[in-house]
A and B are shown apart, each in its own frame.
Chain A
């Protein structure tokens, strides 16, 4: 699907014209209220619980059973807090920055293929578009930091932007190696090519992580760079509380701070989703093909098969995503923060050269073995599947 097709698809779907503007604004608000806010909120709760477990504490336990409603209380607090703007702040940019950050991280969710039938927009340029939207985040961080008129904010913002711009390169290169293997940039196409080899007609080459040794290494490069992209420990220098108070969001309070916090979690989830889709096979499992499961349950005329398949695929996808998010939290409470020079060394001296070499070798692998994965080659030599 190309972008104009998608746009006219929206048009055809609704058959509306100018009211569409009202509709899209409303639906954006609804998506944010109904999806992003609770997910972000639940993430803060889980993060606190995980942190407590790591440190042998109890964690939030007052609001609701085992503190499960804590995020609700936090959200209300966020709404009701006094919304302050520093006297010398640049008001226009101060208001603009959080929205840019949020737009960058939420806009990319349209491209996440949750299941074979649940994907907002399957664009031709899927992964490329996701990376492009990510660039709005660094812009928002930099502008917000400048607008705050606070030296800690500015230092944090500078660090954040430099870090995101640098780590976008290994991130992009490792994504590119997946594109080389899959021969497609559409998220759906990439996931669909990762089916279990033997099953069904055609079959795929199984998860891209195990496609060849070079992609295996590139997965870890992607994961490291993604951690840096969403400012998570050990790369949380932009908001290092022991050096910079709270970094680029020092001066933000109330709902604006809420947007920053939300987009940080949304970023973490987004990168976990992308990693799942392009490296870990999305909804694909070993040995079974979920799209061939047919329990044959019907309600009247309508078959429930697509619904059941969708639910299975989504739960597989979300299970992988939550595993990755858990690992991100685990890393946060285990590793110390890097120094700035170590951060840049890691990116420019190690990640970028290694990912380039891997990209090159992965391309050679595709050329030599005609795009077959390690598993398919093994299957061929043993005379099964393939």
Chain B
């Protein structure tokens, strides 16, 4: 058992445990914190698979961006925190069955399939290769994503900003 093996095992356990917490913890804030740890474990596994650029991107975009925004949303609206999130057994039973079935099917597939694969993953320098891929074969997709990002940001601003024709209580526009 080498250090990388230990690292991968640790990330696996951390990810699985925190995903369980995300799914079942009644307190939405704890679920968000657990989501942080599951995202961190994915970043760790990206690192172990040789995708170091992706690992850093995962950290900077998910942990630094998305999670902070989620926490903001959780903390800004009291209802979010009070809303315990999980309904009674009535609303829980059917989704639980479906999810467990999906999980079971996926795990069975993973363990039974015989993928055409190599024994030791390739772990090479990825930064330059990703850069070349983004301006080479994926140039069009890259530009498209940029436009989607711009449109999404403008859309978010338009949705979130106060509508001036509404009778808002005046001074909270700042």
State whether B55 touches A3 (Cβ < 8 A): yes
Decide if B56 is an interface residue (CB 8 Å cutoff): yes
State whether B33 touches A96 (Cβ < 8 A): yes
A residues less than 8 Å from B124 (CB atoms) = 2
B residues less than 8 Å from A129 (CB atoms) = 52, 56
Chief secondary structure at chain A's binding surface: helix
State whether A128 touches B75 (Cβ < 8 A): no
State whether B56 touches A125 (Cβ < 8 A): yes
State whether B7 touches A139 (Cβ < 8 A): no
Decide if B14 is an interface residue (CB 8 Å cutoff): no
Binds A, one of B65-73, B82-90, B94-102, B135-143: B65-73
State whether A4 touches B4 (Cβ < 8 A): yes
0/1 per residue, A80-104, Cβ < 8 Å to B?
0000000000101100100000000
Task: Kindly state the separation between the CA atoms of A21 and B50 in the bound complex, as whole angstroms.
Answer: 21
State whether B56 touches A128 (Cβ < 8 A): yes
Binds B, one of A6-14, A197-205, A233-241, A363-371: A6-14
B residues less than 8 Å from A168 (CB atoms) = 64
Given known contacts A11-B4, A136-B63, A124 and B52 CB-to-CB distance under 8 angstroms: yes
Decide if B110 is an interface residue (CB 8 Å cutoff): no
A2-B126, A142-B72, A161-B68 known; 19 new pairs, CB 8 Å cut-off, are A3-B47, A3-B52, A7-B4, A8-B3, A8-B4, A123-B52, A124-B125, A124-B127, A132-B56, A132-B59, A135-B59, A138-B64, A139-B36, A142-B68, A154-B75, A158-B72, A161-B71, A161-B72, A162-B72
Task: Kindly state the separation between the CA atoms of A67 and B35 in the bound complex, as whole angstroms.
Answer: 47
0/1 per residue, A48-76, Cβ < 8 Å to B?
00000000000000000000000000000
Query: Which residues 132-166 of A have a CB within 8 angstroms of B?
Result: 132-136, 138-139, 142-143, 146, 154, 158, 161-162, 165
Decide if B48 is an interface residue (CB 8 Å cutoff): yes
B residues less than 8 Å from A301 (CB atoms) = none
Decide if B2 is an interface residue (CB 8 Å cutoff): yes
State whether B4 touches A2 (Cβ < 8 A): no
Decide if A304 is an interface residue (CB 8 Å cutoff): no
B residues less than 8 Å from A18 (CB atoms) = 1, 6
Given known contacts A2-B125, A8-B4, A10-B3, A135 and B63 CB-to-CB distance under 8 angstroms: yes
A residues less than 8 Å from B72 (CB atoms) = 142, 158, 161-162
Decide if B133 is an interface residue (CB 8 Å cutoff): no
- B12: min CB distance to chain A, Å: 15
Interface residue ranges, A against B (CB under 8 Å): 2-5, 7-8, 10-11, 17-18, 20-21, 90, 92-93, 96, 123-125, 128-129, 131-136, 138-139, 142-143, 146, 154, 158, 161-162, 165, 168, 185, 341
Decide if B119 is an interface residue (CB 8 Å cutoff): no
Decide if B79 is an interface residue (CB 8 Å cutoff): no
Query: Which residues 23-66 of B have a CB within 8 angstroms of A?
Result: 29-30, 33, 36, 47-50, 52-53, 55-57, 59-60, 63-65
- B17: min CB distance to chain A, Å: 14
Q: What are 26 A-B pairs with beta-carbon distances under 8 A?
A: A5-B123, A7-B3, A7-B4, A8-B3, A11-B4, A17-B1, A17-B2, A18-B1, A20-B6, A21-B6, A90-B29, A93-B33, A124-B52, A124-B127, A128-B56, A128-B57, A131-B56, A131-B60, A135-B60, A135-B64, A139-B36, A139-B71, A142-B72, A146-B75, A165-B68, A341-B174
Task: Kindly state the separation between the CA atoms of A21 and B57 in the bound complex, as whole angstroms.
Answer: 26
| Residue ID in chain B nearest A341 by CB atoms | B174
State whether A143 touches B33 (Cβ < 8 A): yes
State whether B75 touches A4 (Cβ < 8 A): no
A residues less than 8 Å from B123 (CB atoms) = 2, 4-5
Q: Which of B52, B57, B59 has the most CB of A within 10 A?
A: B52
- A129: min CB distance to chain B, Å: 5
State whether A8 touches B64 (Cβ < 8 A): no
Q: Which of A3, A90, A96, A138 has the most CB of B within 10 A?
A: A3
